[in-house]
Amino acid sequence: MTNQCDEGRLIQLSIIMKAPSAARILSITFSCLFLGLAAGCANRYDITLRSGNMITTKGKPKEDGRGYYTYTDIDGATKRVSAGQVRQIAPHVDPKRDKSNFFSPGS
């Protein structure tokens, strides 16, 4: 009978050891949450050039102190443009997502 009791304890111990700890569950949950927020916070900006052309970027362009703005384009490539060519840098507004600032005929 002692063999059955010891065997039962071993089975219970192995089940406990395989169960994920609360700390592990929390760390996985927060990691997933952080990655989701980080992906959602990748703001886009529009660089309007003096020529009238517009460049949409991932993240806010940074001035490098040498007369250029460095930015990451939509495809993920790092590029730069002369600060003298830039007319304006503003947050990107997507008319498909933000319809509050746009007039829709028939409304």
Segments of the chain with pLDDT less than 70: 1-20, 26, 30-42, 95, 97-107
Closest alpha carbon to 82 in 58, 47, 46, 57: 47
- From residue 69, alpha-carbon distances to 72, 83, 92, 102 in Å are 10, 6, 17, 30
What tokens does 55 get? Answer: 């460049």
Options 3.90.180.10, 2.30.30.100, 3.40.50.300, 3.90.25.10; which CATH number does 43-93 get?
2.30.30.100
d(CA 86, CA 49): 4
Q: Per-domain residue ranges for the chain? A: 1-41, 43-93
pLDDT in the model for residue 25: 73
**Residue-wise pLDDT tens digits, 53-80:** 999 999 999 999 999 999 999 999 999 9
d(CA 79, CA 68): 10
pLDDT in the model for residue 35: 58
